[in-house]
Amino acid sequence: MAGGGIDLFQAQPPSGPVTLPSLANVPAEVLRYALTAREQDRAWVLIEQLASPATLDALDALSSSKLETLFNGWGKASGIQIGELIRLGLIIRDHSESLEADLINAGLRLRHCPSDDFNWRDLMIFIRFLPVTSALFSEMFPDQAGWTREALLMADQVDALRILAWQKTKDGLKGRNAPDPIPRPGVTPPQRAGSKTKAAPLSEVRARDARRHATTPAERKQELNDVFGSG
């Protein structure tokens, strides 16, 4: 098996034996069905499709803390947590064509997942380490797309050369009309001194502030990994 190293996860809580299949090989149609449920119900809908009546009875008798411990063990043994699997399903649902393009470029096919040679854990790892030049990254984070470390360094160099050239001009000697930096993630052009601005409605200011704090460059940089956090 490529990813999660189990076929069955077995546990013996006081409520009775629990047997569950590996999350790394959940059938695609079962995952798609779980995604049709409300967000807060998806994990349990998935479990209900995978567990036997006896296992469901044993799970129902467990406390929340014991359930959490058991499910964490299930995910660890499978190589992918149930929350990670659900979020993976959402990416497939919402960005299937761009993901398929990246997989095809790597000699893989989405329709072959899950299989013995390419399961859900394998796909999760594939997505987690996609470069900023990938089709999926470009679709999910268009403002970051293509900005490799090399491209960012080159933009820094161009900005520095522009400043050096500007410093030799009349404007540069008087400290005015400095060149704007190349637009890129994390760099905001400075507001020119003395520029007249029209006050925006308070609701618009609050909305902009919320968006800015919700999508800082550092957050966007890590968002692909955050998609696969435990949960």
Query: pLDDT tens digit string along 37-65?
Result: 999 999 999 999 999 999 999 999 999 99
Mean pLDDT confidence for 116-123:
96
Its sign, for the CA torsion 6, 12, 13, 17, is positive
Cα-Cα end-to-end distance for the chain = 24
Residue 67 located in a structural domain: yes
Residue 197 located in a structural domain: no
Q: Is the pLDDT of residue 118 over 50?
A: yes
**How would you write 146-190 as a 3-class SS string?**
CCCHHHHHHHHHHHHHHHHHHHCCHHHHHCCCCCCCCCECCECCC
- Please give the model's pTM, rounded to 2 decimal places: 0.69
Q: At which residue do the structure tokens 């190293």 appear? A: 5
Candidates 102, 111, 89; CA nearest to 34 is 89
Q: Which residue range is the domain that position 24 belongs to?
A: 8-140
Percent of the chain's residues with pLDDT above 70: 77
Residue 18's CB is within 10 A of a number of other CB atoms, namely 22
Residue 201 located in a structural domain: no
Residue 212 located in a structural domain: no
Going by pLDDT thresholds of 50, 70 and 90, the confidence category of residue 193 is low
Selected residue with higher pLDDT from 99 and 188 = 99
Amino acid 214: pLDDT:
55
How confident is the prediction for the chain on average, in pLDDT?
A: 84
Going by pLDDT thresholds of 50, 70 and 90, the confidence category of residue 14 is confident
Going by pLDDT thresholds of 50, 70 and 90, the confidence category of residue 229 is low
Amino acid 115: pLDDT:
95
Q: Is the pLDDT of residue 5 over 80?
A: no
* Domain count for the chain: 1
Q: Is the pLDDT of residue 126 over 90?
A: yes
Selected residue with higher pLDDT from 119 and 208 = 119
Amino acid 195: pLDDT:
47
Mean pLDDT confidence for 155-182:
86
Mean pLDDT confidence for 101-114:
97
Give DSSP secondary structure letters for 50-68. HS-HHHHHHHHTS-HHHHH
* Alpha carbon separation from 161 to 148, 168, 186, 199, 219 (Å, rounded): 20, 11, 19, 35, 30
Q: Is the pLDDT of residue 185 over 80?
A: no
Mean pLDDT confidence for 5-15:
81
The answer to whether the CB of 123 falls within 8 A of the CB of 79 is: no
Q: Is the pLDDT of residue 147 over 50?
A: yes
Residue 79 located in a structural domain: yes
> What is the Cα–Cα distance from 67 to 58, expressed in whole angstroms?
10
Q: Is the pLDDT of residue 181 over 90?
A: no
Q: Classify residue 175 as left (phi > 0), alpha (psi -120 to 50) or beta.
A: left
Residue 75 located in a structural domain: yes
The answer to whether the CB of 33 falls within 8 A of the CB of 45 is: yes
